[in-house]
Amino acid sequence: MKGHKSINYWKSEYIGRTLVTLCGIVIVLTTLAIIAFIAGKGIQSFTVSGISLWEMITSTNWSPNDGHYGALIFIAGSTLVSIGAVLVSAPIAIALAIFMNYISPKFGEKVLRPVLELLVGIPSVVYGLLGVSILVPFLRDSFGGVGFSLMAGIIVLSIMILPTIATLASDALRGVPPQLLEASYGLGSTRWQAISRVVIPAAKKGVMTGIVLGLARAFGEALAVQMVIGNTIKLPEALTSPTATLTGVLTMDMSNTLNGTAWNNALWSLALILLVISFLFILIIRFIGNRGGEK
């Protein structure tokens, strides 16, 4: 009987631990394998095809048929549309999280949270279709131009990443111990002072995680942005100007190239650049969050 209990304990304790450990190892190895594969393919532009790295990241001349692979337009387009989307959506998402947890918890739990979950489940192509059908004509009538623009990309992308940031920010605020809020009230703080000076700083890491994930999705989003941003190979002169992004040129050109050609290698280099930029911005946001936490 004692031996039977010992076997059951071993099964429940060690088999479970082994399985979750293996899952973690598989995820880490898969991520490293993807990064290594993209890096291996991406550097072939410079080691095999003889393309200049400096020219690729500083030139605006993207003309693969003539041997020019300047990607500055795509780098600028992806960076501007992603940062713009985060700047628009992050304050709104944090405000929604505060509303759901401290202003109207019942309404937030029964209405806002299901709505956010619904927005997360909408496919990106639907966002793109709505942008082309409603947003682009509205921008064209309001600001002139063709409507397909950097502004259209920022608005569509900010709506897409809003639920991710809001949900994670709400979970972070919910995890703040209520004793902190009560102690703040006890010291004479108003509700807004308690939220802004106690609750939000205490939940900062969770909020920053939401912003990081939102930024990562913004950089990786291709279809919806491609449908509304114009896909014009030129640097944007204003928010109403069309431009192109790294993900846009990848989706449009990848199927038109042969594996191993200079054009194909250049596209893999663009994918590597997109990955590096995403990592850099994530590190910057983490650094800002940690630095603020130390204060």
Q: Does residue 119 fall inside a structural domain? A: yes
* Residue 75 near residue 250 (C-beta atoms within 8 A): no
Q: What is the three-class DSSP state of 68?
A: strand
Tokens of 141: 């009538």
Q: Does residue 44 fall inside a structural domain? A: no
Q: Does residue 8 fall inside a structural domain? A: no
Q: Does residue 170 fall inside a structural domain? A: yes
Q: Check residue 103 and give its pLDDT.
A: 87
pLDDT, tens digit, for every residue of 146-191?
Answer: 889 999 999 999 999 999 899 989 989 988 888 888 888 888 888 8
* Residue 230 near residue 146 (C-beta atoms within 8 A): yes
Q: Check residue 19 and give its pLDDT.
A: 87
Tell which residue, 45, 231, 230, 24, has the closest CA to residue 146: 230
Please name the residues in contact with 4: beta carbons below 8 A apart, sequence gap of 6 or more.
Answer: none
Give me the chain's average pLDDT, please: 87
Q: Check residue 84 and give its pLDDT.
A: 94
Neighbour-count burial for 6-30, b at 16+ CB within 10 Å, e otherwise: eeeeeeeeeeeeeeeeeeeeeeeee
Q: Does residue 174 fall inside a structural domain? A: yes
Residues recorded for the chain: 295
pTM score: 0.84
Q: Does residue 188 fall inside a structural domain? A: yes
What is the CB-side half-sphere exposure of residue 240 using CA atoms within 13 A? 11
260 band by pLDDT with thresholds 50, 70 and 90: confident
Q: Which amino acid is at 219?
A: F
CATH number at residue 125: 1.10.3720.10
7 band by pLDDT with thresholds 50, 70 and 90: low
DSSP category for residue 62: E
Domain total of the chain = 1
Q: Which amino acid is at 185?
A: Y
Domain enclosing residue 155, as ranges = 74-256+271-291
Q: Does residue 239 fall inside a structural domain? A: yes
Q: Does residue 78 fall inside a structural domain? A: yes
Measure the N-to-C terminal CA separation of the chain; round to a whole number of Å.
57
